[in-house]
Amino acid sequence: MTVVAFIVALGVLIAVHEWGHYRVAVACGVKVLRYSIGFGKPLLRWTSRTTGTEYVIAALPLGGYVRMLDEREGEVAPEERHLAFNNQPLRSRAAIVAAGPVANLLLAVALLAVVNWVGVTEPAARLAAPPQGSVLQMAGVHSGDWVRRISVDQQGWQPVRSLSDLRWALTKAAMAGDSVSLDVASRADAASRILSIPLGGLQQREPDAAFFEKIGLLGAWTQPMLDRVVAEGPADLAGLRMGDVVVSVDGQAIRDGAQLLVLIRDSGASGKADAQTWVVRRGGQNLTLAVQPKVEAAEEKSIGRINAYIGGEPEMVVVRQGFWGGLSTGVQRTWELSAMTLRMMGRMVIGEASLKNISGPLTIADYAGRSASMGLIQYLSFLALISVSLGVLNLLPLPVLDGGHLMYYLWEGVTGRSVSEIWAERLQRAGVAVILLMMSVAFFNDINRLWG
C-alpha cells in the first residue's frame, strides 16, 4: 500500500504541476513538443494528431517536464518562430512558468474543499490533562475541559469544531508569536470561562511533539482505562485486565488516559522504576494492585512501560461544511499552509529552526502509506499538504526552479534586458548546489527517522 500510495501521489502532483505549464503555454500560443510525467525510459507514449505534442509516462516518477518549441534549444523553422517560447512577450513567459506552482496550490484548494464537503471524523475538542508547567496547565486548563471558541490577539472569536481545529489555531498563533484566549467549559453543557494563553514567550516554535508538550496539548480526553494487555508484561503480571478503569496511582487521582500514560513513562525517568500502587475499578468494585513498570530506553532517555494499551476511545465529531463554506475554508487553509511553509523555511535559513524539518521521498512515502491506510479523506488531506509544499518550493527564487525563472523575468521587467549568459550559468550552478544540498539533508533526515 505504501508503494502504491506513494506512486499515485507523485503521479497526481507531477501531472497537475506540468498540466499547469502545458495549458497556459497552449493558451499563450506556444507549441508544446512533449508533456512528460517522470524521467528516463518511456513506459507509455502517444502523439496528438492535431497538435503534434508527444505525451509520455516515464519510468522514474520523481518529476516531469513540458518541452516547448524554443530557439535556444534547437533550430526552429521560420514559419514556426512565432510559436517559440523565447519569442513570447514577458507576461506570457512569466505566466507559463508560474502556472505549474499555481496549479499545485489550486489542487490543494480543491482537495481540501472536497474533504470539507464530505466531512471528517475527528476527536472532539475535549482536552486531556495538560502536563505540569505547560502553558495550558498554568493558564487553568483541566482534564476533560471542552474548548468552544478561540480568539487570536483579541481579533474576534472563532468556533472550535474539533481537536484538529484547536491544534491548527494554536500552531499558527505560536509560530507567529501571538497570544490567544480560549472559551472553555468543564462539561459540554456547563458554563464557560475565558482563559488567556500566552504563547508569545515560547522559545521553541517548531510544531513537533516537544512543541505541543510545552503548550500542554497532549491529545483528546480519554477514559483512564486499559485496552489490550500484553501477556507476561508488567500489567499482566500485576493482575491488570482489559477494561480496568484506573482510579488512582500512588494516591494520585487519575482523570484521563493521557495523565496515566505520563505517570507510567515518568516512573522510569531515573533509570530505575519503583513499584506503584494502583486502584482500579473492575465490575463495580475497586481493587488495589501493585504494578512494577519496566524501564526502557527511548529517544536518549529512560521511560517506564507496563506493556498495555492505555486510554479508551475519545469522543468523535463529524466536521462537515456546505459548498461555499468548504471552498472558502480550502482557500484559507491553503493560504495559511503556504505562509507557514515559507515562514518555516525562512527560520531554517537564519538558524531559528532545525534542518530536521526537511523531509525527503522516504518520509513522504511512509506518510502516504499511513494516510492511505486510514481512509480516502486522510489520503486526500495528505495530498493537499504535499501539493502546497510542492507549489511553495517551486516558487523559491532558485535558478533551477520555477521561482528562479520568475526572478530572471523580474530582472528583465525592471531593467529591460535579460540576464546575461555568464550570470545565468553561474546562478544555475549555485542553484543546483543548493538543491543538491537540500536533497542530501532530506535523505539524511529520512534515514534517521526511519532507521535511526
CA nearest to 313, candidates 184, 211, 221, 188: 221
The H or E element spanning position 10 is: helix 2-27
Distant-in-sequence, close-in-space partners of 242: CB < 8 Å, separation ≥ 6: 226, 227, 228, 229
Check: CB of residue 216 under 8 Å from CB of residue 190: no
> In the chain, what are the helix, strand and coil shares in percent, each to the nearest 5?
45, 25, 30
| Cα 381 to Cα 109: distance, rounded to the nearest angstrom | 10
Chain CA centroid to CA 135, Å: 23
Tell me how far apart the 2 most distant CA atoms of the chain are, in Å.
93
Check: CB of residue 235 under 8 Å from CB of residue 308: yes
Distant-in-sequence, close-in-space partners of 328: CB < 8 Å, separation ≥ 6: none
As annotated, the active-site residues are 18
- Measured from the Cβ of residue 86, the count of other Cβ atoms closer than 10 Å reads 15
Residue listed under C-alpha cell 472550535:
160
| Cα 297 to Cα 342: distance, rounded to the nearest angstrom | 36
Rounded alpha-carbon distances, angstroms, from residue 386 to 10, 104, 363, 381, 422: 9, 9, 12, 9, 35
Rounded alpha-carbon distances, angstroms, from residue 333 to 169, 217, 279, 324, 394: 11, 21, 46, 14, 19
| Cα 162 to Cα 20: distance, rounded to the nearest angstrom | 35
Check: CB of residue 123 under 8 Å from CB of residue 316: yes
**Polymer length in residues for the chain:** 452
Name the amino acid, one letter, at 178: D
Name the amino acid, one letter, at 310: I
The H or E element spanning position 133 is: none
DSSP codes, 391-432: HHHHTSS-TTSHHHHHHHHHHHHHHSSPPPHHHHHHHHHHHH
The H or E element spanning position 349 is: helix 323-349
